[in-house]
């Protein structure tokens, strides 16, 4: 090959390499492949950042401008009641772990061995934590309602609920299982309610035995904490999250009473999303069942409703002072977004978690989300 031909060939090759390097790459970058999910923020009409949405980034070779964002499907909210004004679309909340299904089957067998049933409810949401099948399961056995976390509910709410339940013929005690308030009175009531057992045994010439008491309720309403207070030691596993107790266990308190601790029970399907939202707000169902940002916004909506409809049930001023935002004229979602901008540089998730945590711990002050007049809104009714 002559020197001239060699130079022409060399220039052709180098030009092609140069053009190849300048050509824009096709397909997603390595960063896109490693991060298939991006969190983007919607913007409300007034310019307030909304709840983050998830956009799926396709790994196809088409240019980014030609791709269409795949949005997760949301269940239509068909709830009719206090929460129906939140929006036309909210994620449906359902939670039914496998161990709860097993516990329900075991409960139907164990209930035959007990004399008294103590149903533990959350004093802030007595209707949402009322299982619709309990009365059918216990039959003619005596039931005692233990309204736990009474310290987190205002006095006016406790008084109204006490009057309402007594008028309904219920045996009820308001307690704080963690601090032990009202637990001794509950124990005495359970022993008295089961005294008929030993009266029958005495007439038959049999020796007396301890009253057998079953403790049931929704997850994380304080069943194990109540048993530990009654026993005076940590006899049952207890934690501030739902689903800790997985098996049933008998616990002897004294020669006069013994308790059966069961895992939390919950309906297989939460028909009323109003109840499901309140369970999520009060941390009575697993966190895997809901989005904290959505539930935090719904909590603000609930607190606004309570202030408007129930006198003395909550002071909105406490919420506004702690989160530096006025609740007037904004939705719950907008309230959380504005608080995030003021407190955490726009971090909505962190703001939502803080809001839920402070509500559950009682930092926002005493509050109850349900009133006796809402009796038709209990789950399954």
Any idea what the CATH number is for the domain that residue 231 is in?
A: 3.40.50.300
Predicted local confidence at residue 260, as pLDDT: 87
Estimate the crossing angle of helix 292-309 against helix 348-361, to 10 degrees. Answer: 50
Long-range contacts of 238-247 (CB under 8 A, 24+ apart): 240/283, 241/283, 241/286, 241/287, 242/218, 242/283, 242/284, 242/285, 242/286, 243/97, 243/99, 243/100, 243/219, 243/286, 244/220, 246/99
Co-location of 230 and 353 in the same domain: no
Q: Is residue 377 part of a domain?
A: no
Residue 17 falls inside a structural domain: no
**Which of 261, 291, 320 is the endpoint of a domain?**
261
- Residue 358: inside a domain, yes or no? yes
Q: Are residues 251 and 107 part of one domain? A: yes
Please, what's the b/e burial string for 320-356 (b: 16 or more CB within 10 A of its CB; e: otherwise)?
Answer: eebbebebeebbbbbbbbbbbbebeeeebbebbebbb
Q: Is residue 76 part of a domain?
A: no
Q: Are residues 231 and 360 in the same domain?
A: no
Q: Which of 274, 264, 260, 213 is nearest to 239 (CA)?
A: 264
Domain count for the chain: 3
Q: Assess whether 257 and 299 both reside in one domain.
A: no
Is residue 321 domain-resident?
Answer: yes
Regarding whether 105 and 228 lie in a shared domain, the answer is yes
* Claim to verify: residue 197 and residue 171 sit in the same structural domain: yes
Q: What are phi and psi of 174, to 5 degrees?
A: -95, 125
Domain of 57?
30-66
* CATH code of the domain containing 313: 1.10.1580.10
pLDDT by residue, tens only, the chain of 381 residues: 555 555 555 555 455 544 444 444 444 444 443 433 333 344 444 444 444 443 333 334 444 444 444 444 433 333 333 444 444 345 566 555 555 667 677 787 888 889 999 999 999 999 999 998 899 989 999 999 999 999 999 999 999 999 999 999 999 999 999 999 999 999 999 999 999 988 998 999 999 999 999 999 998 899 889 988 988 765 544 444 444 444 677 888 888 899 888 887 877 667 778 888 999 999 988 888 789 999 999 999 999 999 999 999 999 999 999 999 999 999 999 999 999 999 999 999 999 999 999 999 999 999 999 999 765 444 444
Q: Based on the fold, state whether residues 187 and 207 are members of the same structural domain.
A: yes
If we measure between CA atoms, which residue out of 85, 174, 164, 163 comes closest to residue 124?
174
Beta strands at 37-43 and 49-56: parallel, antiparallel or unpaired: antiparallel
Question: What pLDDT is recorded for position 234?
Answer: 57
Question: Same domain, yes or no, for 245 and 349?
Answer: no
């Amino acid at each position: 090959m002559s020197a001239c031909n060699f130079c022409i060939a060399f220039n052709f090759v180098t030009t092609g390499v140069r053009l190849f390097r300048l050509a824009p790459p096709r397909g997603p970058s390595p960063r896109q492949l490693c991060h298939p999910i991006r969190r983007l923020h919607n913007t409300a009409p007034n310019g307030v950042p909304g709840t983050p949405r998830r956009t799926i980034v396709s790994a196809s070779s088409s240019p980014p401008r030609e791709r269409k964002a795949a949005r997760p499907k949301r269940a239509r909210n068909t709830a009719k009641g206090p929460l129906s004004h939140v929006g036309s679309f909210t994620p449906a909340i359902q939670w039914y772990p496998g161990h709860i299904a097993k516990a329900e089957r075991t409960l139907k067998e164990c209930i035959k061995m007990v004399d008294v049933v103590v149903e533990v409810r959350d004093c802030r949401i007595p209707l949402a934590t009322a299982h619709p099948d309990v009365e059918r399961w216990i039959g003619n056995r005596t039931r005692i309602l233990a309204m736990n976390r009474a310290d987190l509910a205002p006095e006016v709410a406790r008084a109204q609920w006490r009057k309402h339940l007594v008028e309904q013929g219920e045996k009820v005690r308001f307690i704080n299982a963690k601090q032990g308030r009202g637990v001794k009175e509950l124990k005495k009531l359970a022993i008295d309610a089961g005294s008929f057992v030993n009266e029958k045994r005495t007439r038959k010439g049999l020796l007396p035995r301890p009253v057998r008491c079953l403790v049931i309720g929704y997850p994380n309403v304080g069943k194990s904490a109540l048993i530990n207070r009654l026993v005076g030691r940590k006899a049952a596993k207890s934690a501030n999250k739902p689903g800790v107790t997985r098996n049933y266990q008998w616990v002897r308190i004294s020669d006069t009473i013994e308790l059966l601790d069961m895992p939390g029970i919950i309906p297989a399907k939460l028909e009323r999303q109003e109840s499901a939202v309140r369970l999520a707000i009060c941390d009575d169902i697993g966190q895997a069942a809901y989005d904290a940002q959505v539930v935090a916004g719904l909590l603000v909506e609930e607190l606004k409703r309570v202030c408007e409809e129930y006198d003395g049930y909550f002071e909105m001023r406490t919420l506004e002072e702690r989160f530096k935002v006025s609740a007037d004229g904004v939705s719950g979602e907008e309230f959380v977004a504005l608080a995030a901008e003021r407190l955490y540089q726009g971090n909505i998730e962190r703001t939502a978690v803080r809001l839920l945590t402070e509500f559950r711990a009682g930092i926002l002050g005493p509050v109850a989300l349900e009133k006796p007049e809402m009796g038709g809104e209990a789950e399954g009714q």
